[in-house]
Structure 1
Amino acid sequence: MKLANHLLNVIKAMVASRERKAATVGAILAILYGLHWFQNRNASKYAGVQKAKRTDRGSVNMKFFSQLWTLVKVVVPSLRSKESLLLALLSILLVARTMLSISISSVNGGVVKAIVTRDFNSFLKKITSLAMFAVPSSLVNSALDFLNHKLAIIFRTRMTRYMNEKYLKGLVYYQISNLDSRISNPDQRLTQDIDKWATCLSNLYSNITKPILDIILFSKKLADLVGWEGPSVIIGWYFLSGTVIRYISPPFGLLTAQEQQNEGLYRACQSDLVNHAEEIAFYRGNDWEKDRINKTLMVIVRHINTILSKRFFMGTFDSMLVKYGATMVAYAVLGLPVFGPNKSKYISSKGVNTGNITRDYIRNSSLLINLAKAIGRLVVSYKDLQSLSGYTSLLFEAKSVLEDLEQGKYKRTMIEGSMFNSSNRGKYEPSDKIAFEDVPIVSPNGDILVQNLSFTIESGTHTFIQGPNGCGKSSLFRILGELWPLFAGTVHKPPMEDMFYIPQRPYLPHGTLRDQIIYPHSLEKMASLKISDKDLEELMKVVKLDDLVDKRGGFDQIEDWNDTLSGGQKQRIAMCRLLYHKPKFAILDECTSAVSIEAEGAIYQHFKDEGITLITVSHRESLMKYHNHVLKMDGEGGWKFYKILS
């Protein structure tokens, strides 16, 4: 009570003059206005993002903790895992760091006492003790930093492998971009978002565990020295500060999630420019692309500026409440032994030796500073928790979508009035032939290209597919390969290893020349099939690329083959790949558009000699003679399948 009266008298003295009264009133009004401004801004500024809030993205609530726990079980799979061991070691080091801080506080007090009393021998002893504490303290600090970064890397590795396992299972990697519309930039989720989530999680463990340990241990030590009133007052002040900050804090988690989505859109713009550079160059679309990229960049910049401005105002309130306000409360606590209710007992125990009082003041102030820092970090860590909430919601959404696709569930906006939906399913039947029975050719969003398609391609039924662009030729292959959903009917098909697909622009991954031919086989798989490099040379001769082996330095030469080979060479590499795999059925989608008519004729004839059944999509009528059946689509949903008589 006496302490409260003392503080009240100090406050009255501060506002005794008119100028100080005016300054105090102005400060109070500024704080009230700031609270009002932040509240109204939160209500109005984010009125337009309520759709995003519907998913509670960025909110620290029970849903967030449930999602976080689900993801944590992925990166910390068991109590015996190396992640658990590192977390236990980190916890031990955090306790050691706090105990070292308490010991150093006592040594600091002794150093100051020796200076005040001019005791040189005691001064040397205390300095020596402080130097001895420097070695373990430095080691523990470095170890804590090392373990935080190590945990972030391990969390990222574990989560990336988990996500990649689901992403690359079956056709999920294709379906997530082409069938499902929930995640527009999966590459962003599987790279940067995982990295930032892992870093946030590893840092948050230390940022929360260390302050809690510090609060418990420093409070106990401080209570032994000044009574429980000291830590109670400082903890109460920070609790009040935390309540105010919680009330006025903008939804930084939501803002972080939006920032990541904006970054993903910006990266997509840059990727489009790289992937479609040739077409853009023909259209001279550089100015349009520049305008688009700049607009997307400005969306990011404006959003980041919004975040920075909010962090500026929140930093102001943090400093007022957590830093300067806590300093005033801390001085009141430090004055308890001298000015508090037990001052007589304290002064009599210390006597007239001011060195003892100085030692106690330095020791207590060091403990109090560490306690205040711990509570401050715990209060301010709420913003880190919001950031983690934003990344957690993004990763959890990606995990949920991958699991849905793994079970054959996808969500996509269908064309209005479409007779098909994602719940309709046809069936696939294993067979030694390719046959469609009453199969509609329908795009994933319900656009009907062909109403009912029925035909049979047996071994030796070389089929030439004709029709205008957009009539469903390539769509037919996507349904055959189970890339697109089969909405109705029955498809009879052989196993995937008996079918091989060559598109107009073949995929040539970064690797050796051998990799381009045997893809997706590995060198070990090639050896198990008893195929040698000499056999590959013979295949390269068939497609008229035998000179490429010597020019490029053999099959082990590693290059970016998309850049070093011409369009015709790329297509002949793909046909060499077909000869290597030697399937029963070959699906050739405009795969000879950059190859001469003479070369493609020889290659096609070799395909037939090898017993490969050809299914070709091409605008070259010259290829018709290598086929004995035609599937003709008219582009209006009609089709004909017939045998070539001559």
Structure 2
Amino acid sequence: MKSTTWNGSFLKSLFHLTARYWQSEEKKSAYAYLAGIVLLTIAAVYMTLLLNDWFNEFYSALQNYDSDAVYHGLLKFTGLAFAHIAFAVYGYYLQQKLSLRWRQWMTREYLSRWTAHDMYYRMEMFSKGEADNPDQRISEDINLFTSRTLSFMSGLLKAITTIFCFIFVLWGLSEPLAFMVGDSEYHVYGYLVWTALAYSIVGTWITHRVGHRLVALNVVQQKLEANFRYAMVRLRETAESVAFYEGAPRENGILRHRFQKLVVNTLYIIQKQKQLSWLTNSYGQIAIIFPFVVAAPRYLSKSISLGGLMQVANCFGKVQESMSYFVDVYASLAEWQSCAERLLTFDRHIESIYKETEQEEQGLQRKEIQDTLQLHDVEIGLPTGRILLSHMNCTIHQGEKVIIKGPSGKGKSTLLRTLAGFWPYAKGQMVLPPKEETMFIPQKPYMPMGTLLEAAAYPADHVSRETLEPLLDQCGLSHLKDMLDTEGDWSHILSLGEQQKLAFVRIFLRKPKWVFLDEATSAMDEETENNLYGRLVALPGITVISVGHRSTLDRWHTLAVTL
């Protein structure tokens, strides 16, 4: 997989992704946190600068066997070190707090965009597999993006501040380097600075050449990890069906295959990281001795003392380390870039799907009117362009009971999706009752995590036990009354028949004027179906529109529409 290069388009998109928070309603507090981080970072670097002067004083005292100066130096070091630690700790604390606030804001924004306009459904149905694992992008990628971005910003600020503070000191410690070319003598001023700069540039260039493929490999790795995890979650959710089919060996093979693909990509990453580790560790070890090699001639010629040598070495090390910042963080930077690419891709998919589906929806005119549902020359198709229903015309008045029949795959459920408003591939004119008066019941009702009381009230937040318990009795769920306050995954605890009964409980709680049912009693016995439909059609003024194949449903409907 080819990764995104750092071109103008990527940088513009990255800036937009980052800037949204800093231009949001939380920008004042965000900038206050950022100002605190900047001040504490500068203060920590200033303590490092004072410690660099301490090196000269302390090692000169050791060289001169000056015991008073040595003990005084130890006390001074204690104060400077404590101050440096305090500034560093509180800087990191503010960075973590700001990272959490940024993550909270981005998560709220992405959740809002993902759940608005039925986007969670449209991405699942119409993205052609490109918008994979939105749950991972929202839960993991946002966390990684915010924390790493602030970490890089803080590290870069520290590097720039260190260079600014120490480069003048290092320049002052550098005597002019004289060398002969032919009969002419030349002098290089600040040669230690130029040496550190050259060393850092070469190291950064080589690191990029060796490690740039890590970005693409990390993008693939995150996708393979998510796919492997999703396959295991799917097996858990469909455990009973797999058990009936005795499909465990087949599922084991599927999981092993997905994991093997993950392992192969991981080996590529390990190989690249090994090469990068060779480089960064070699670079770091050479950096330890390199300043002594550069400054040793001045010490051996007795131009500087031992303290001066240690000061030069420390100062050179700080400048070189700061200039080599990207060498040290390259592996993390590659992971961060892959994470940013995934978030940007997620943004593009949301925008493209929204534009595509909104454009498709322009062909369907929708209007809300009380007491009537009308379809005029309605055509419903698939994203592939295949037409399911065409030239459909009908009028349904409030209070009527209508059953829609037809062969499987004819478009009955897709018609209900279009009526509900989240299937965009339709044309024509629709007159619909107000949304607050309608309720749609799918074949497999949704069971949220939480207590059974909350599952029964869904999508409402709460319902009283006094209201709910009689309805459980009427719908054949009396045995669940003692479990109302129990938390669980009710889509696995309850049978499909029990879940369908609970969907009727929701209807009786809400009492909509229009209810649309898609095979809503397919897992029930006929006696239970007759009981629930009998209670349903007896509700005053209710309009019932059912999709079903069972002939037992005919008695509860006065009109039939065959597709």
- TM (norm. structure 2) is 0.90
Task: Report the RMSD for the aligned CA atoms in angstroms.
Answer: 2.5
Shift of 1:533: 4.1
Q: State the alpha-carbon separation in 1 of the partners of residues 486 and 289 from structure 2.
A: 71
Q: Is the 8 A contact 1:105 1:363 kept in 2?
A: yes
2:468 maps to 536
Q: Is the 8 A contact 1:58 1:252 kept in 2?
A: no
Specify whether residues 272 and 533 from structure 1 end up closer, same or farther in structure 2 by C-alpha distance, changes over 3 A only.
closer
Q: State the alpha-carbon separation in 2 of the partners of residues 425 and 184 from structure 1.
A: 29
1:306 maps to 268
Q: Which of 363, 369, 375 is the equivalent residue of 1:425? A: 363
Shift of 1:241: 2.5
Q: Is the 8 A contact 1:109 1:359 kept in 2?
A: yes
- Residue deviations 1:129-178 (CA, integer Å, cap 9, x gap): 11122321221222233233333322221211111111111211111111
Specify whether residues 314 and 599 from structure 1 end up closer, same or farther in structure 2 by C-alpha distance, changes over 3 A only.
closer
The letter of the residue matching 2:473 is K
Q: Is the 8 A contact 1:433 1:493 kept in 2?
A: yes
Q: Is the 8 A contact 2:357 2:424 kept in 1?
A: no
The letter of the residue matching 1:60 is W
Q: Which of 328, 338, 355 is the equivalent residue of 1:390? A: 338
The within-5 A match list for 1:100-249 is 100-181=47-128, 182-227=130-175, 228-249=190-211
Q: State the alpha-carbon separation in 2 of the partners of residues 562 and 620 from structure 1.
A: 24
2:181 maps to none
1:94 maps to 41
Q: Does 1:624 align with 2:562?
A: no
Count of residue pairs brought into register by the alignment:
545
Shift of 1:588: 1.6
1:370 maps to 318
Q: State the alpha-carbon separation in 2 of the partners of residues 461 and 388 from structure 1.
A: 58
The within-5 A match list for 1:337-356 is 337-338=298-299, 347=303
Q: State the alpha-carbon separation in 1 of the partners of residues 552 and 280 from structure 2.
A: 77
Q: Is the 8 A contact 2:361 2:424 kept in 1?
A: no
- State which drifts further: 86-95 or 249-258: 249-258
2:385 maps to 446
- Residue deviations 1:48-88 (CA, integer Å, cap 9, x gap): x4xxx3xxx34223223212210111232269522222222
Specify whether residues 273 and 365 from structure 1 end up closer, same or farther in structure 2 by C-alpha distance, changes over 3 A only.
same
Q: State the alpha-carbon separation in 2 of the partners of residues 284 and 81 from structure 1.
A: 59
Secondary structure, counterpart of 2:427 in structure 1: coil
Q: State the alpha-carbon separation in 2 of the partners of residues 515 and 207 from structure 1.
A: 47
Secondary structure, counterpart of 1:449 in structure 2: strand
Q: Does 1:330 align with 2:313?
A: no
Q: Which of 29, 45, 65 is the equivalent residue of 2:11? A: 65
Q: State the alpha-carbon separation in 2 of the partners of residues 625 and 135 from structure 1.
A: 84
Secondary structure, counterpart of 2:394 in structure 1: strand
Q: State the alpha-carbon separation in 2 of the partners of residues 568 and 383 from structure 1.
A: 52
Shift of 1:557: 4.3
Shift of 1:504: 2.3
- Between Structure 1 and Structure 2, whose CA radius of gyration is higher? 1
The letter of the residue matching 2:125 is N
Q: Which of 569, 577, 593 is the equivalent residue of 2:506? A: 577
The within-5 A match list for 1:574-613 is 574-610=503-539, 611-613=541-543
Specify whether residues 59 and 328 from structure 1 end up closer, same or farther in structure 2 by C-alpha distance, changes over 3 A only.
same
1:503 maps to 442
Structure 1, unaligned runs of 5 or more? 1-48, 351-356, 412-420, 527-531, 634-646
Q: State the alpha-carbon separation in 2 of the partners of residues 278 and 438 from structure 1.
A: 43
The within-5 A match list for 1:446-525 is 446-523=385-462
The letter of the residue matching 2:383 is P
Q: State the alpha-carbon separation in 2 of the partners of residues 65 and 438 from structure 1.
A: 48
Q: Which of 197, 207, 214 is the equivalent residue of 1:252? A: 214
Q: State the alpha-carbon separation in 1 of the partners of residues 364 and 381 from structure 2.
A: 12
1:416 maps to none
Q: State the alpha-carbon separation in 2 of the partners of residues 324 and 510 from structure 1.
A: 54
Specify whether residues 435 and 180 from structure 1 end up closer, same or farther in structure 2 by C-alpha distance, changes over 3 A only.
farther
Shift of 1:196: 1.8
Q: State the alpha-carbon separation in 1 of the partners of residues 485 and 212 from structure 2.
A: 57
Seq. identity, %: 24
Specify whether residues 128 and 328 from structure 1 end up closer, same or farther in structure 2 by C-alpha distance, changes over 3 A only.
closer
Q: State the alpha-carbon separation in 1 of the partners of residues 380 and 447 from structure 2.
A: 29
Shift of 1:594: 3.1
Q: Is the 8 A contact 1:435 1:493 kept in 2?
A: yes
Secondary structure, counterpart of 2:448 in structure 1: coil
Q: State the alpha-carbon separation in 2 of the partners of residues 93 and 289 from structure 1.
A: 54
1:293 maps to 255
Q: Is the 8 A contact 2:380 2:427 kept in 1?
A: no
Q: Which of 566, 585, 600 is the equivalent residue of 2:495? A: 566
Shift of 1:335: 2.9
Specify whether residues 336 and 154 from structure 1 end up closer, same or farther in structure 2 by C-alpha distance, changes over 3 A only.
farther
Q: State the alpha-carbon separation in 2 of the partners of residues 83 and 583 from structure 1.
A: 46
Q: Is the 8 A contact 1:59 1:253 kept in 2?
A: no
- Residue deviations 1:370-428 (CA, integer Å, cap 9, x gap): 2222222234444444333222221112123323444x4259xxxxxxxxx95872222
The letter of the residue matching 1:429 is K
The letter of the residue matching 2:475 is V
